[in-house]
């Protein structure tokens, strides 16, 4: 049984390891990368990724002049620090040795086997990292500040799902480092959208199926990649809740997004997809407004079940 520890304890436990690896989930986002970067600046060690990093993380890593290690043999390190990771599926079956964890997702299946962990339902892992380092008396470099703020911005959907704490943490980081908020936005928006991504967004819209429940709109679609961005696009152009499927080997991967009004009505996607994952022998989870699911099954049947579940909530 993993040990739930305070920030203080986590900090002092981690200092006992000489050679930690800060491991990010599959397709690492700025919340994972930013968190790993800030911790490595303080504790030394290595930043590890499972397969690749997302578009914005690639820009961030370039700015930070940091190259993470890929396909890594974890036995070379005395501890693995899992960041922003809530399911085994996000690790592509990599063999974990001794590990600890910091995460913020609605559900987390990796706590039991962790040696120690901080698990808090904040809006980003970066906020937890800020508190951990701030309480230990560390100051933040400009690079650490940019890395953590980038994580907060992307995980809160540019502050759409922000809490007072995510605002406060961002404000403290800006104050402590002298960074201008606009600098971080410029860095994030300098990421080019490549042509295959733009085509995927258009195909998602073309293929969308629309279900209307009163004044609510649920949309489903499918693309070969970029399904997270695709679900966000469907919400941006009018859906209240969107599910977009992709085929990943023999599996179906679903990304979902929900508008704040739908969340307030009770659509909590992280829990819903976690439940569906358990029911069908796959894995799912995430946040109320942004979640994922991966399982074996028939794409349209899974999408229909997603729609049915949301319909039931919206019809109440």
Q: Which helix (H) or strand (E) holds 99?
A: strand 99-103
Read off the tokens for 115: 């040696």
Pick between residue 79 and residue 153 the one whose CB is nearest to Mn ion: 153
* 216-222: strand order across its sheet: 209-213, 216-222, 241-248, 251-258, 290-295, 283-286
Rounded-to-integer distance, Cα 175 and Cα 187, Å: 19
**Which span (6-14, 27-35, 176-184, 225-233) binds Mn ion, by CB under 5 A?**
27-35
Minimum distance of Mn ion from residue 84's CB (angstroms): 4
Pick between residue 17 and residue 119 the one whose CB is nearest to Mn ion: 119
Pick between residue 221 and residue 227 the one whose CB is nearest to Mn ion: 227
Q: Which residue is nearest to Mn ion (CB)?
A: 31
Pick between residue 79 and residue 290 the one whose CB is nearest to Mn ion: 290
Minimum distance of Mn ion from residue 217's CB (angstroms): 27
- Residue 52 half-sphere exposure, CB side, CA atoms within 13 Å? 5
Minimum distance of Mn ion from residue 208's CB (angstroms): 27
Pick between residue 125 and residue 204 the one whose CB is nearest to Mn ion: 125
Closest CA to 63 of 141, 147, 155: 147
Q: Is the C-alpha dihedral spanning 41, 72, 197, 245 positive or negative?
A: negative
**Which span (87-95, 152-160, 186-194, 235-243) binds Mn ion, by CB under 5 A?**
152-160
* 174 burial via Cβ count (<10 Å: 0-12, 13-18, 19+): middle
Minimum distance of Mn ion from residue 157's CB (angstroms): 11
Minimum distance of Mn ion from residue 301's CB (angstroms): 29
Rounded-to-integer distance, Cα 277 and Cα 295, Å: 7
Pick between residue 155 and residue 274 the one whose CB is nearest to Mn ion: 155
- Residue 104 half-sphere exposure, CB side, CA atoms within 13 Å? 20
Give the number of residues in contact with Mn ion, rule: CB under 5 A: 4
**Which span (30-38, 159-167, 250-258, 294-302) binds Mn ion, by CB under 5 A?**
30-38
Pick between residue 155 and residue 294 the one whose CB is nearest to Mn ion: 155
Minimum distance of Mn ion from residue 31's CB (angstroms): 3
Phi-psi region of 226 (alpha: psi -120 to 50; beta: other; left: phi over 0): left
Select from 155, 240, 274, 288 the one that contacts Mn ion (CB under 5 A): 155
Alpha-carbon distances, residue 224 vs 144, 219, 303 (angstroms): 34, 17, 15
What is the phi/psi pair of residue 256, to 5°? -135, 150
Minimum distance of Mn ion from residue 124's CB (angstroms): 5
For Mn ion, the binding residues in 255-314 under the rule CB under 5 A are none
For Mn ion, the binding residues in 56-95 under the rule CB under 5 A are 84
Select from 21, 23, 26, 31 the one that contacts Mn ion (CB under 5 A): 31
Q: Which positions ≥6 away from 295 have C-beta within 8 Å?
A: 251, 252, 276, 277, 280, 281, 282, 283, 284, 302
Minimum distance of Mn ion from residue 89's CB (angstroms): 16
Closest CA to 119 of 268, 3, 13: 3
For Mn ion, the binding residues in 91-150 under the rule CB under 5 A are 125
Q: Which residues bind Mn ion (CB under 5 A)?
A: 31, 84, 125, 155
């Amino acid at each position: 049984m993993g040990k739930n520890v305070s920030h203080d304890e986590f900090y002092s436990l981690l200092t006992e390891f000489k050679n930690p690896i800060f491991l990010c989930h599959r397709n690492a986002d700025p919340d994972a990368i930013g968190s790993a970067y800030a911790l490595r600046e303080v504790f030394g060690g290595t930043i590890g990724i499972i397969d690749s990093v997302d578009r914005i993380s690639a820009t961030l890593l370039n700015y930070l002049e940091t190259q993470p290690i890929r396909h890594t043999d974890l036995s070379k390190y005395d501890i693995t620090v899992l960041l922003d990771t809530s399911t085994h599926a996000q690790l592509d079956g990599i063999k974990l040795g001794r590990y600890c964890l910091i995460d913020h997702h609605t559900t987390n299946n990796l706590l039991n086997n962790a040696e120690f962990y901080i698990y808090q339902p904040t809006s980003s892992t970066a906020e937890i990292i800020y508190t951990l380092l701030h309480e230990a008396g560390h100051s933040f470099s400009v690079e650490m500040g940019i890395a953590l703020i980038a994580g907060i911005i992307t995980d809160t959907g540019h502050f759409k799902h922000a809490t007072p704490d995510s605002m406060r943490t961002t404000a403290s980081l800006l104050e402590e480092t002298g960074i201008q908020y606009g600098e971080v936005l410029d860095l994030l928006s300098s990421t080019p959208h490549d042509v295959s991504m733009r085509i995927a967004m258009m195909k998602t819209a073309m293929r969308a199926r629309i279900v209307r429940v009163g004044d609510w709109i649920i949309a489903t679609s499918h693309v070969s990649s970029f399904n997270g961005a695709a679900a966000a696009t469907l919400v941006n152009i009018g859906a209240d809740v969107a599910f977009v499927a992709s085929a990943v080997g023999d599996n179906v991967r679903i990304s979902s997004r929900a508008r704040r009004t739908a969340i307030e009505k009770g659509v909590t996607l992280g829990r819903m997809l976690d439940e569906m994952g358990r029911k069908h022998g796959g894995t799912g989870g995430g946040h109320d407004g942004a979640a994922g699911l991966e399982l074996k099954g028939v794409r349209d049947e899974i999408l229909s079940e997603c729609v049915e579940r949301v319909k039931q909530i919206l019809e109440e």
